[in-house]
Amino acid sequence: MRANKAAKCIAKEMFQLCQVIEENGHRNSPSSYEITITFGDLFKIYQFISDKLVGILLRARKHNMLHFEGEMLFQRRDEQKVIHLLLNHQQILLGLAQH
């Protein structure tokens, strides 16, 4: 029972992260669905939301919600690394509603 509750909480945090990227990221072109944000920009925004950003990023990548190069992201060293959101707006809303 506790494991299910934790899994739902983590899933909700991953969808909330995707929502933050969608709201604060940049579309590569007006006709493009791809939204990107640098790790540095995301870190500045997200530090007021949670101190678990890197862990949530890793978990969201494992679930094919987003993509970035490399195994791990570190503050300062990887601030220019680009994070690609792989979910569209409807998928994010559906995920948030389910969790």
- Name the pLDDT band for 1 (thresholds 50, 70, 90): confident
d(CA 32, CA 57): 23
CA 14, CA 8: separation in Å to the nearest integer?
10
- Tell me the C-alpha distance between 57 and 67, whole Å: 9
CATH number corresponding to 2-98: 1.10.10.1540
- Give the model's confidence band at 56: pLDDT under 50 very low, under 70 low, under 90 confident, else very high: very high
Q: Residue for token digits 């862990």? A: 55
Q: How confident is the model at residue 60 (pLDDT cuts 50, 70, 90)?
A: very high
Q: Is the distance from CB of 46 to CB of 17 less than 8 angstroms?
A: yes
pLDDT at position 47: 80
